Amino acid sequence: MDRANSRSQNRPSKAVQTWEALNDRQRLYLTAIYREDQVAEAKAQATRTAYGDPGVAEEWRKLPFTIKADPALTGYTALQERLREQGTLDEGAGATLAALLRRGLIELSEDQVEVFPLGGAPRVLVSLTRVGRACARAGVGERASRPAKGLLSEWLWRNLVKVASAAPEGLHEDGLWGKSKFYLGTGFRPGKRAASRGFIDSVPVREGEGADAYAVEYRWHLTEAGRGHIRQHIDKYRELYPDVELGDLPRDA
């Protein structure tokens, strides 16, 4: 192994580097947000297990941080309670959140909640970005959960996303390399009796009309099964493979 490769392998990951650049207070806040994020994820999974619909992850991952009203009327949010237990909930909370926001580790938003007897009051919501979640995991020494049964490997997920992103024109037949087409496509895998997943299909692009029509090329398109798989599991894939760029991939693929 040459020296360049050795240095590359020994270099800390970007998530670790980001964690090491944070001060102690910022690490405590990021960890507290991450713990509440995982609580929200567990609740969403429990809802799915009970055949319910938790809604989209972008919404249930928004964690209440504070309500802009007297705590005597509103009480403390679960996230505030975590910070109170470790003695870091104080007037500097806003500055700490702002520092995490500048680093792209969290996102902040607001909504309105009813507070008796005041009526509507602004509520600050905080959510982790994918970078922030990876950073927190690196800091606390946890890994993203492995794919559950029925989910794709990162390699196959990248290829499925590649086909989905090429809609509506479709992905050129040569756009998929290796055996991914056999694992994702319709039919059977070469040399095996196991059926492929049927998530994509090669569709001819024809010229001419009627009996004179002929195929000039073939393009990969999602099947209904492929679209359904993405709709059902896209939130989980975001967690498993945060480095896979989804861009503007629609939920209905």
Cα distance from N-terminal residue to C-terminal residue, the chain: 43
> How many other CB atoms sit within 10 Å of the CB of residue 210?
5
On whether the CB atoms of residues 228 and 197 are closer than 8 A, the answer is no
Distance CA 40, CA 54 (A): 10
Q: What is the CATH number of domain 3-140?
A: 1.10.10
Instruction: For residue 144, give the DSSP letter.
Output: P
Distance CA 248, CA 253 (A): 10
> How many other CB atoms sit within 10 Å of the CB of residue 139?
18
pLDDT tens over the chain, length 253 residues: 444 444 444 567 889 999 999 999 999 999 999 999 999 988 887 777 676 778 888 899 999 999 999 999 999 999 999 999 999 999 999 999 999 999 999 999 999 999 998 899 999 999 999 899 999 999 999 876 666 678 888 888 989 999 999 989 999 988 887 778 888 987 755 554 556 788 999 888 888 887 777 778 889 999 999 999 998 888 888 878 877 888 667 555 5
Residue 40 sits at φ, ψ, to 5 deg, of: -65, -40
Structural domain boundaries in the chain: 3-140, 154-240
H-type alpha helices, the chain: 3-10, 14-21, 24-49, 57-60, 71-74, 78-85, 93-102, 130-140, 154-165, 180-184, 224-240
pLDDT computed for residue 1 by the predictor? 41
Our separate counts of H helices and E strands in the chain read 11, 6
Tokens 């998929």, residue? 176
Cis preceding-peptide flag for 190 (omega within 30 of 0): no
Token representation of residue 222:
């999602």
Burial class (CB in 10 A: 0-12, 13-18, 19+), 27: middle
